[in-house]
């Protein structure tokens, strides 16, 4: 049996993508990945050439691949690493992210959960009512938004790939979580204190992001998070992989067709009103945000003990000039800029 | 030939002189879920492996939190 050949240049292939019925050599595969990311960015108008993008990097293949691609495409992309405190796994992840940033001369923001917020993920998993993966995801989403705002970024980019999105959609559909389905989009627009969030890898499978990271020589954490065992997301991925093995292209069809034909049906489910959390002033639908509630539970604090009053700007934005003297209104808005 | 599996790390011996596809079938591994690496090069399903080769089979699946909750 002869070697597979690259679909584009006929050189010996190093990677086969069965859902495209294609194989690629190294250079053509790197170009294929760049093209898929470009298509994703254009299809959803993810960001403009001069936007500052903060890539949420874990040290895994997806986020490092995304950061690498965005830098190669010429974007102003910095990284955000959140120290989760998961022993050696976190130490190693942090080192790899730091090494990548140093090598590429890219800006890296580091936020350590224990230093900044007084708890780490293993502790939160033990003491809180949420599962470890749930509180981890919640904490990361919270820090992404807050850090991006603090450091003047325009958009947050995460490394969610096609497998992540298909598995999540399967899970949400099995439970008919229509509010989550409505928000499962490669772009979430900015609103009321939430920065725009984008997923430029949604057209690429895990096999493609892993192969890209390997072929580009990116040193990433191959080991799985030690706390992830039994994660429901992994079960959905395994189910999708069985369908994919029997019929290549199923995952892409499921998720990409959802974006085209399914998602519009759920748009009206996504109408929620956001206002600042009374404790941290980050946006939430309730009185306190989910992160502050989880944190208070882990630390054994009462949420009401540390209520932070509205900022001048929040006051000004909620009270029109007609009821607030114009001079005070402008001073409040100017002062909070 | 030697096969190094990851997550968890372990090593085992299987017979070589056949296609990567055949090795993966014997081990019950879906080719779309792994990178197959020999001497810092990726192998496709149709590539052949020899009796003296050391091959790493590296899963591409990653878990973490999905947005299902």
Tell me which residue in A23, A137, A224 faces B65 most closely, judged by beta carbons: A137
Burial class (CB in 10 A: 0-12, 13-18, 19+), A209: buried
Could you tell me the pTM of the whole model?
A: 0.89
State the pairing for strand pair A155-157/A187-188. Answer: unpaired
Note the ipTM here: 0.92
> Considering only CB atoms, which chain B residues are within 8 Å of A18?
32
Is the CB of A233 less than 8 angstroms away from the CB of B65?
A: yes
H helices within A105-224, ranges in order? 113-117, 121-127, 132-150, 162-174, 178-183, 206-215
Minimal Cα distance from A23: which residue of B? B44
Nearest-angstrom CA–CA distance, B38 and B42: 7
Minimal Cα distance from A166: which residue of B? B66
pLDDT 10s per residue in chain A (337 long)? 568 999 999 999 999 999 999 999 999 999 999 999 999 999 999 999 999 999 999 999 999 999 999 999 999 999 999 999 999 999 999 999 999 999 999 999 999 999 999 999 999 999 988 889 999 999 999 999 999 999 999 999 999 999 999 999 999 999 999 988 988 999 998 888 899 999 999 999 999 999 999 999 999 999 888 887 667 888 999 999 999 999 999 999 999 999 999 998 988 655 678 889 999 999 999 999 999 999 999 999 988 877 777 777 666 665 444 444 444 444 444 444 3
In B, what residues contact A, Cβ < 8 A? 6-7, 19, 30-33, 35, 37, 41-48, 58, 60-69
> What dihedral angle (degrees, nearest 10) is formed by the CA atoms of A16, A20, A22, A28?
-80
The residue behind tokens 């003047």 is A152
The candidate with the shortest Cα–Cα distance to A155, out of A43, A49, A52, is A52
Minimal Cα distance from A63: which residue of B? B62
Tell me which residue in A167, A183, A248 faces B66 most closely, judged by beta carbons: A167
């Amino acid at each position: 049996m002869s070697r597979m050949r690259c679909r584009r240049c006929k050189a010996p292939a190093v990677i086969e993508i069965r859902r495209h019925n294609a194989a690629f050599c190294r250079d053509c595969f790197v170009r294929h990945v760049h093209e898929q990311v470009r298509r994703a960015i254009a299809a959803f108008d993810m960001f403009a050439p001069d936007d500052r993008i903060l890539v949420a990097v874990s040290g895994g293949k997806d986020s490092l691949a995304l950061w690498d691609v965005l830098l190669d495409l010429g974007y102003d992309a910095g990284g955000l690493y959140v120290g989760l405190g998961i022993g050696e796994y976190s130490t190693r992840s942090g080192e790899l992210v730091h090494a990548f940033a140093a090598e590429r001369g890219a800006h890296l923001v580091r936020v350590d959960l224990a230093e900044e917020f007084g708890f780490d993920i293993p502790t939160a998993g033990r003491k809180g009512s949420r599962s470890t993966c749930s509180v981890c995801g919640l904490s990361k989403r919270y820090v992404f938004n807050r850090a991006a705002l603090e450091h003047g970024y325009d958009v947050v980019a995460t490394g969610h790939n096609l497998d992540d999105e298909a598995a999540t959609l399967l899970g949400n559909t099995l439970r008919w979580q229509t509010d989550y389905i409505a928000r499962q989009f490669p772009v979430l627009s900015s609103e009321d204190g939430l920065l725009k969030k984008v997923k430029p890898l949604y057209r690429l499978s895990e096999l493609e992001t892993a192969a890209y990271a390997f072929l580009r020589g990116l040193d990433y954490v191959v080991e799985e998070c030690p706390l992830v065992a039994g994660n429901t997301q992994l079960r959905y991925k395994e189910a999708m992989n069985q369908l994919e093995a029997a019929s290549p292209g199923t995952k892409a069809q499921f998720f990409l067709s959802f974006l085209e034909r399914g998602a519009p049906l759920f748009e009206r489910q996504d109408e929620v009103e956001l206002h600042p959390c009374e404790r941290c002033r980050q946006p939430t639908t309730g009185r306190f945000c989910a992160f502050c509630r989880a944190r208070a539970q882990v630390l054994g604090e009462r949420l009401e003990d540390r209520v932070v009053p509205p900022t001048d700007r929040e006051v000004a934005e909620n009270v029109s000039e007609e009821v607030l003297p114009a001079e005070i209104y402008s001073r409040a808005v100017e002062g909070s800029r | 030939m030697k096969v190094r599996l990851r997550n968890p790390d372990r090593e085992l011996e299987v017979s070589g002189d056949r296609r990567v596809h055949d090795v993966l079938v014997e081990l019950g591994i879906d080719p779309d879920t792994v990178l197959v690496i020999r001497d810092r090069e990726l192998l496709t399903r149709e590539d052949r492996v020899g009796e003296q080769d050391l091959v790493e089979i590296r899963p591409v699946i990653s878990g973490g939190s999905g947005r299902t909750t």
